[in-house]
Amino acid sequence: MLFGFPILSTLIWLPIIGGLLILFLGRDRDNFTKWFALSVSVVTFLVSIPLWTQFDTSTSAMQFVEQVSWISQFNIQYYLGVDGLSMPLVLLTTFTQILVIASAWDVIKERVEQYMGAFMIMQGLMIGVFVALDGILFYVFWEALLIPMFIVIGKWGGQDRVYATIKFFLYTFFGSVFMLVAFLYMYFQSGSFSILDFHAMHLGSTAQILIFLAFLIAFAVKVPMFPVHTWLPDAHVQAPTAGSVVLAAIMLKMGGYGFVRFSLPITPDASMELDWLVIALSLIAIFYIGLVAMVQKDMKKLVAYSSISHMGFVTIGMFLVYDIVQNTGSIQGSMIGMEGAMIQMISHGFISGAMFLMIGVLYDRMHTREISAYGGVVNTMPWFGFFAVLFAMANAGLPGTSGFVGEFMVILASFKANVWYGIIAASTLIIGAAYTLWMVKRVFFGAVANDNVGSLKDLNKREFAIMATLAFAVVLLGIYPAPLIEVMHSSVANLLIQATTSKL
């Protein structure tokens, strides 16, 4: 609540109700539908700004809290709040949403109201995931998200969209049901579904291991981590541009968020016991999936694999804590890894979103994503080339862009934990640069490859505005990440204390 105004509820329900309205009102009124969707997303973004400006950075406590009894029989509450870990993600969601809506403007021609409605409902649900402080409420948002995404990929996707969307749905559903069982077990132990009560409860070592594994399955599928990542390239390749943007920029973050909100604070001892598992899987993602990205012929697939590789930084950054504490004897040193992971999440949201939008722009014009179909695009689309190179550099982790900050912090932390971790993690600077720049070279530079490329038109005003906004965000975060680090600092410190305090 802010001065008695339920700001978090507004952020959740404004887009959902708007989405439902447009489903019913927007039939055959495409222009109205688009403007309505855009206005709602802009208003939602404006409403979310006070979260940042009024945020108290000195505390790790939950802020803007709303709490109402929902299902009293099981002590399930409608309980919302944000801290430094979730607030930036909420803003990322509201910010990205505007670009998502704008990106679909001229592209979607069939059942526009269903498309816009689905994205608006998804936005509300995603915000719900990040602000829910009750396990069941969290789960409801988490699962409900699958429904609109299922429809979006399956209806507006590419050739094999049905296979991809069912795979996406079943993989993520399979992962999350274990989380539900873990929630129920903890409810049985603590008598409450409140996530804060989960944090405070005592758990034996076997229980912790089982709960940790249940969480790991749920979040690993979502992040996604090797070896349960295979749904992601399929889903990305088949999804329409906006679907890919939402998937990469926000939905993957839900997995990372799950680790910091649930795994580390609720099962610290099991996390310490099994951190090698997460670290190993993350390193495989960073190194091996990076190599896989290099051989892709389809641009979207390349960026999808690159996403998995970059999300490996998020998970490794989070689980380096224990090794660093062992080596240095203080949790202060692990701060940089955790904050690096959090910044990587936000930055990956911008960069991967930008990369998918870029491919979307090309696809709209040429209807192919094969790298080999392009060449010399910069000659016909100079502005587009400018942005593309900027985002590619950011994706490769060039200093001065947001991609550098997070990766650099995590690599530093890796070296503190173990030299080998550091070396493998740092290899991404080479591999990432290789696949991104190679793609840029083949698509944008050189002579104009064929007549199709020759007749391309440069960005229109709408596309320019989208690209420029993202470019601004990427560069701003790259040269001045301090405000972001500041808002999350207290919460990260608190998280590290929770993660390193034994519950046994």
Partner 1 sequence: MNFVIPSFIPAIPEIVLLTLTSLLLIADTIWSKRSEFATYYATQLILLVVGYLVLTSFSTSQVLTFDGSFVRDAFGDILKLVIVVVSMGIFLFSKEYLLQNKFYRGEYFTLGLFGVLGMFVMVSAYNLITMYLGLEIMSLALYAMVAMRKDNQHALEAAMKYFVLGALATGMLLYGFSMIYGATGSIQFNEMAQIIASGNVDNVVLSFGVVFIVIGLAFKLGAVPFHMWVPDVYHGAPTAVTLYIGTAAKIAAFAMLYRILVEGLPGLVKEWQSLIVMISVLSLIVGAVITLVQENLKRLLAYSGIGHIGFILLGIIAANPDGYSAAMFYTIVYVITALAGFGMIVALARTNNEFDLIADFKGMNKRNPWLALMMLFIMFSMAGIPPFVGFYAKVVVIEEVVQAGFTWLAVLAVVMAVISAFYYLRVVKVMYFDEPEDSTKIEPVSNQLNWAVSFVSIALLVLGLMPSSLITLCYNSL
445 binds partner 1 (CB under 8 A): no
206 binds partner 1 (CB under 8 A): no
Q: Which residue has the tokens 């190194």?
A: 287
Q: Which amino acid is at 177?
A: V
CB of 166 to partner 1, least distance (A): 6
Nearer to partner 1, 156 or 305 (CB): 156
Q: Tell me the angle at which helices 382-395 and 335-366 cross, rounded to the nearest 10 degrees.
A: 150
In a 3-state reduction of DSSP, which class is residue 67? strand
Q: Which bin fits 9, alpha (ψ -120 to 50), beta or left (φ > 0)?
A: alpha
Nearer to partner 1, 11 or 218 (CB): 218
188 binds partner 1 (CB under 8 A): yes
CB of 433 to partner 1, least distance (A): 39
CB 197 within 8 A of CB 261: no
Looking from the CA of 487 toward its CB, the CA atoms found within 13 Å total 23
CB 126 within 8 A of CB 254: yes
Nearer to partner 1, 198 or 305 (CB): 198
180 binds partner 1 (CB under 8 A): yes
- Determine which residue in the list 80, 112, 136, 318 makes contact with partner 1, applying CB under 8 A: 136
In a 3-state reduction of DSSP, which class is residue 64? strand
Helix (H) or strand (E) holding 78: strand 76-82
Per-residue binder mask for partner 1 (CB under 8 A), 44-83, x = binder = --------------------------xxxxx---------
Nearer to partner 1, 52 or 78 (CB): 78
Nearer to partner 1, 238 or 309 (CB): 238
Residue 394 to residue 377: CA distance in whole angstroms: 20
Q: Which stretch binds partner 1 (CB under 8 A): 143-151, 235-243, 390-398, 444-452?
A: 143-151
Strands (E), 283-362: none
Strands (E), 355-415: none
Nearer to partner 1, 164 or 331 (CB): 164
Q: Which amino acid is at 53?
A: T
167 binds partner 1 (CB under 8 A): no
Nearer to partner 1, 167 or 301 (CB): 167
365 binds partner 1 (CB under 8 A): no
Q: What's the longest Cα–Cα distance across the chain?
A: 69
Residues lying near partner 1 in the complex (CB under 8 A) are found at 70-74, 111, 114, 136, 139-140, 143-144, 146-147, 150-151, 154-155, 161-162, 165-166, 169-170, 173-174, 177-178, 180-181, 184-185, 187-188
